[in-house]
């Protein structure tokens, strides 16, 4: 049996490209004692992967050259000598950009397809959903009646942030690119308004949609979007800095707003990494799984077929060509036939 993998071949200097990756085929090793062999069904593609393609100092080391690209996965166990996992089990873990993987399975979590579609384990009920949950509730601490602004509003994290803020009773304004994304977050997800960051008058458009200023800005983008929102922050405003995707391909960061307003308005800006909030996972899964079941929390997936498409698909995140949580379907999802 063989395994197709995508490895990091070279490091981008500015923009990542498909040429930074290479496809290779290797044999699947025989199983030892306690091993679990699983086939990847879904691979998650996320903005943080751009950072892992480089070697700059960050909260996590870059992927070594010629190593399999890192990535969250949903898989099905096909063979196991580990009593904790049986063939047929669905699991989520970090198996990376490859068709299958063998390990002791220490980082695997078993999934129940009856609870939610298995793909959600790397989306709304996985890392991006949990990022929205802890970033908004633990750092943003929104209160009913406050105004919450979120950028990359139609994406995996932003769409959940906005809906959770609505559930809290806030006025919610999104910032997104294309008109269809702005329409989606207002019409389908129930945001109060959404402004396009392509607008030449972003700051004025935001001011018009946030007449009482901004209490929480959930930052996903950075750069000129951050500057536009920052000037509207209220006294004691909070800015959870989740990501700055506009800067990931740019080694020369843009200048930001001056710090004076930070001081005079006593604004709290706090960066965070979702991996440090493992203690909140049970709360997140309990709340968000229930809101999905009730239909109060909606999500959208953007699914690309075939492992070989992963490099080109990843690049879509950095110019807004994804619409929803970006996933690669590496092999057929056996639960889809039964879902109808
Ligand atoms: N701190 C953490 O632990 C953590 C965890 C997960 C994610 N994140 C961060 O959260 C952010 C969103 O991630 P996601 O997975 O939800 O991605 P996503 O929103 O599904 O996709 C990325 C979106 O970013 C927007 N974008 C890309 N380049 C932009 C630019 N130059 N200017 C303005 N917008 C741009 C695009 O939306 P438009 O078409 O609307 O412009 C694009 O669709 C990222 O910054 C990511 O790094 C952080």
3-state SS string for the chain: CEEEEEEECCCCCCCCCHHHEEEEEEECCCCCCCCEEEEEEEEECCCHHHHHCCCCCCCCCCCCCCCECCCCEEEEEEEECCCCCCCCCEEEECCCCECEEEECCCCCEEECCCCCCHHHHHCCCCHHHHHHHHHHHHHHCCCCCCEEEEECCCCCCHHHHHHHHHHCCCEEEEEECCHHHHHHHHHCCCCCEEEECCCCCHHHHHHHHCCCCEEEEEECCCHHHHHHHHCCEEEEEEEEECCCHHHCCCCCCCCCCCCHHHHHCCCEEEECCHHHHHHHHHHHHHHHHHHHHHCCCCCCEEEEECHHHHHHHHHHHHCCCCCCEEEEECCCCHHHHHHC
Domain C-terminal end among 235, 260, 275: 275
Instruction: Please report the atom of ligand 1 found closest to the CA of residue 242.
Output: 1
State residue 338's pLDDT score.
60
Q: Would 282 be classed as within a structural domain?
A: no
Q: Same domain, yes or no, for 171 and 241?
A: yes
Instruction: Please report the atom of ligand 1 found closest to the CA of residue 241.
Output: 1
CA of 331 to the centre of ligand 1 (A): 26
Which protein residues touch ligand 1 with a CB less than 6 Å away?
46-48, 128, 131, 152, 154-158, 176-178, 181, 197, 220-221, 225, 242-243, 245-246, 272-274, 317-318, 320, 322
Q: Would 115 be classed as within a structural domain?
A: yes
Contact status, residue 20 vs residue 65, Cβ threshold 8 Å = no
Q: Same domain, yes or no, for 142 and 182?
A: yes
Q: Same domain, yes or no, for 152 and 241?
A: yes
> Could you tell which of 154, 194, 245 is best to mutate to test the pocket of ligand 1, judged by most ligand atoms within 8 Å of the CB?
245
Q: Same domain, yes or no, for 132 and 112?
A: no
Q: Same domain, yes or no, for 237 and 310?
A: no
Instruction: Please report the atom of ligand 1 found closest to the CA of residue 275.
Output: 3
Q: Same domain, yes or no, for 216 and 325?
A: no
State residue 339's pLDDT score.
53
Q: Same domain, yes or no, for 74 and 148?
A: no
State residue 173's pLDDT score.
98
Task: Using DSSP bridges, classify how beta strands 171-176 and 109-111 pair: parallel, antiparallel or unpaired.
Answer: unpaired
pLDDT digits (tens, 9 = 90+) for 218-266: 999 999 999 999 999 999 999 999 999 999 998 776 666 767 778 888 8
Q: Would 80 be classed as within a structural domain?
A: yes
Per-chain mean pLDDT for the chain: 95
> Could you tell which of 157, 180, 281, 327 is best to mutate to test the pocket of ligand 1, judged by most ligand atoms within 8 Å of the CB?
157
pTM over 0.85: yes
CATH code (residue 217): 3.40.50.720
Tell me how far the alpha carbon of residue 329 is from its chain's centroid: 17
> Could you tell which of 45, 225, 320, 323 is best to mutate to test the pocket of ligand 1, judged by most ligand atoms within 8 Å of the CB?
320
Q: Would 289 be classed as within a structural domain?
A: no
The total domain count for the chain is 2
Q: Would 260 be classed as within a structural domain?
A: yes
Rounded CA separation 77/98 (Å): 14
Q: Would 280 be classed as within a structural domain?
A: no
> Could you tell which of 46, 54, 152, 316 is best to mutate to test the pocket of ligand 1, judged by most ligand atoms within 8 Å of the CB?
152
Q: Would 285 be classed as within a structural domain?
A: no
Matching residue, tokens 């008058």: 201
Domain containing 59 equals 2-123+300-339
Q: Would 284 be classed as within a structural domain?
A: no
Q: Same domain, yes or no, for 156 and 220?
A: yes
Reported as half-sphere exposure (CB side, CA atoms, 13 A), residue 41 has a value of 23
Query: pLDDT under 70 in the chain at which residues?
Result: 253-256, 258, 338-340
CATH code (residue 30): 3.90.180.10
Q: How far is CA 8 from CA 16, 26, 139, in A?
A: 11, 15, 34
Q: Same domain, yes or no, for 244 and 146?
A: yes
Contact status, residue 274 vs residue 134, Cβ threshold 8 Å = yes
State residue 340's pLDDT score.
43
Q: Same domain, yes or no, for 107 and 155?
A: no
Rounded CA separation 41/90 (Å): 9
Instruction: Please report the atom of ligand 1 found closest to the CA of residue 273.
Output: 3
Q: Same domain, yes or no, for 156 and 243?
A: yes
Instruction: Please report the atom of ligand 1 found closest to the CA of residue 176.
Output: 40
Instruction: Please report the atom of ligand 1 found closest to the CA of residue 224.
Output: 32
State residue 262's pLDDT score.
80
Q: Same domain, yes or no, for 98 and 118?
A: yes
**Token digits for 114?**
């009856």
State residue 29's pLDDT score.
94
């Amino acid at each position: 049996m063989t395994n197709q993998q995508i490895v990091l071949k070279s490091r981008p200097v500015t923009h990542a490209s498909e040429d930074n990756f290479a496809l290779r085929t290797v044999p699947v090793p025989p199983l030892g004692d306690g091993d679990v062999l699983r086939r990847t069904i879904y691979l998650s593609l996320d903005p943080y992967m751009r950072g892992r393609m480089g070697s700059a100092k960050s909260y996590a080391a870059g992927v070594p050259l010629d190593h399999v690209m890192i990535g969250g996965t949903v898989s099905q166990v096909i063979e196991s000598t580990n009593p904790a996992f049986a063939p047929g089990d669905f699991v989520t873990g970090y198996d990376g950009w490859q068709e299958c993987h063998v390990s002791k399975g220490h980082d695997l979590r078993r999934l129940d397809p009856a609870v939610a579609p298995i793909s959600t384990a790397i989306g709304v009920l996985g890392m991006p959903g949990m990022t929205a949950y802890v970033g908004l509730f633990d750092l943003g601490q929104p209160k009913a009646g406050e105004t919450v602004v979120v950028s990359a509003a139609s994406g995996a994290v932003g769409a959940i942030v906005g809906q959770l803020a609505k559930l809290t009773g806030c006025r919610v304004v999104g910032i997104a690119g294309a008109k269809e994304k702005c329409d989606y977050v207002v019409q389908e997800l129930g945001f109060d308004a959404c402004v396009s960051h392509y607008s030449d008058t972003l700051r004025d458009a935001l001011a018009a949609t946030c007449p009482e200023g901004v209490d929480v800005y959930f930052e996903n983008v950075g750069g000129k979007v951050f500057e536009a929102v920052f000037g509207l922050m209220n006294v004691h405003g909070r800015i959870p800095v989740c990501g700055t995707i506009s800067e990931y391909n740019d080694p020369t960061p843009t200048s930001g707003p001056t710090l004076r307003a930070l001081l005079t308005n006593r604004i709290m800006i706090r960066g965070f990494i979702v991996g440090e909030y493992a203690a909140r996972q049970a709360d997140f899964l309990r709340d968000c799984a229930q809101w999905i079941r009730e239909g109060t929390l909606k999500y959208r997936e953007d699914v690309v077929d075939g492992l070989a498409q992963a490099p080109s698909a990843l690049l879509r995140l950095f110019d807004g060509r994804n619409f929803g949580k970006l996933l690669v379907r590496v092999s057929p999802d056996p639960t889809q036939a039964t879902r109808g």
